Amino acid sequence: MKFLTIALLVLLSVSASLAGNCFQTTGYHTSFTATGFNSILPSTNGVPISFYEAGTINVDFAQQQMAVTFDILTTDSQVLGQLYAFGANQTMYVVNIDENGSTCTKLPLNVPIPTSFPNVTADLGPINIGKFQTEVLEIVENGSQQKVLYDLQNCALVSSYMLNEPSQPGVTTVNFLNFENSPAPIALPSICTNPSMSIKSNNRHISKSSVITGPKSIQQLLRPFF
Ligand SMILES: *[C@@H]1O[C@H](CO)[C@@H](O)[C@H](O)[C@H]1NC(C)=O
Ligand SMILES: *[C@@H]1O[C@H](CO)[C@@H](O)[C@H](O)[C@H]1NC(C)=O
Ligand SMILES: *[C@@H]1O[C@H](CO)[C@@H](O)[C@H](O)[C@H]1NC(C)=O
Ligand SMILES: *[C@@H]1O[C@H](CO)[C@@H](O)[C@H](O)[C@H]1NC(C)=O
């Protein structure tokens, strides 16, 4: 759960700003990679953490639903899982995948599901990522600051830099891949609809191969880039 919280904070706080008509969306879905060095995120209780994360996020502001997949690498662990959150019945489901299999745990909803994108606090003007033009939008929220590279032409998040307080330097950078400015349908996987869901799956082969070769895994996501 410790790492799940990290994942969510990165995702939620990064789900940042839009401009003009781009704001009118009812949600969004995207893949992402995130890298943090000495990142201090609200849930880490002031403790800096360094990590790499790859995953997907799908948020429906209007229906108050959210689905997240995450694969987090730190110096001493790799954590792979999924989260499904539903505002209507105040329930969330956490799928944990490890070498022994997958489990799904049903819990009371205790993560915020965003109702909109955060407000832009400043437009810092254009910058090119490569030669591709984006607008730098600043979002200051609850004392945390981020600068988002935003594609105004296509209503798309491109990249984000989240900065710690200057007294404790640290930064988290996020790239958004295949961003879509609308939510996708959300359905629970069968492991969470099965009555025995909180019991470890005994299908070692399937779960192990999903850890190693799952389409959202770090190994797979790194391959095209490095
Ligand atoms: C909560 O709502 C979701 C989405 O409709 C549903 O799949 C899930 O079974 C519900 N859980 C409970 C405990 O009602
Ligand atoms: C997997 O199961 C083995 C044997 O029960 C146990 O020693 C190991 O800690 C388990 N691994 C995880 C990640 O829970
Ligand atoms: C954005 O600003 C408006 C007006 O100040 C406020 O009503 C709204 O709650 C803010 N939205 C967010 C997500 O902070
Ligand atoms: C900001 O702080 C308020 C009040 O403590 C809280 O309700 C809200 O969820 C926080 N927003 C984020 C993005 O953490």
The pTM assigned to this predicted structure is: 0.82
* pLDDT at residue 212, rounded to an integer: 40
Count: domains in the chain: 1
Is 140 inside a domain boundary?
no
Ligand 4 pocket mutation pick from 17, 119, 142, 146 by most atoms within 8 angstroms of CB = 142
Choice between 92 and 213, residue whose per-residue pLDDT is larger: 92
* pLDDT at residue 216, rounded to an integer: 47
Is 95 inside a domain boundary?
yes
Is 212 inside a domain boundary?
yes
> Among 138-147, 205-214, 215-224, whose mean pLDDT is lowest?
205-214
Choice between 11 and 108, residue whose per-residue pLDDT is larger: 108
Tokens of 170: 């640290």
Is 174 inside a domain boundary?
yes
What pLDDT digit, counting tens, does each position of 213-222 carry? 344 455 554 4
> For 175-195, b where at least 16 C-beta lie within 10 A, e where not — what string?
bbeebebebeebebeebbeee
Task: For ligand 4, say whether the CB of 143 is within 6 Å of any of its atoms.
Answer: no
What number is the average pLDDT over the span 178-187? Answer: 95
pLDDT band, residue 154 (cuts 50/70/90): very high
Instruction: Please give the distance, rounded to the nearest whole angstrom, from the Cα atom of residue 10 to the centre of ligand 4.
Output: 14
Tokens of 114: 């965003």
> Among 16-20, 25-29, 126-130, 164-168, whose mean pLDDT is lowest?
16-20
* pLDDT at residue 207, rounded to an integer: 40
Is 10 inside a domain boundary?
yes
Is 123 inside a domain boundary?
no
Closest listed ligand to the CA of 192: 1
Whole-angstrom distance, CA of residue 12 vs CA of residue 131: 28
Task: For ligand 3, say whether the CB of 118 is within 6 Å of any of its atoms.
Answer: yes
* pLDDT at residue 157, rounded to an integer: 93
Whole-angstrom distance, CA of residue 85 vs CA of residue 59: 9
Residues 6+ apart with CB under 8 A from 16: 117, 118, 137, 139, 146, 148, 157, 160
> Among 90-104, 153-167, 190-204, whose mean pLDDT is lowest?
190-204
What pLDDT digit, counting tens, does each position of 15-70 carry? 555 556 887 899 999 999 999 999 887 666 778 889 999 999 999 999 999 999 99
What number is the average pLDDT over the span 100-104? Answer: 91
Choice between 199 and 87, residue whose per-residue pLDDT is larger: 87
pLDDT band, residue 7 (cuts 50/70/90): low
What pLDDT digit, counting tens, does each position of 71-85 carry? 989 888 888 999 999
Is 111 inside a domain boundary?
yes
Residues in the ligand 1 pocket, defined by CB under 6 Å: 86, 88-89, 91, 188
Is 15 inside a domain boundary?
yes
Range of the domain at 190: 2-117+157-222
* pLDDT at residue 98, rounded to an integer: 87
| 36 in Cβ contact with 10 (< 8 Å) | yes
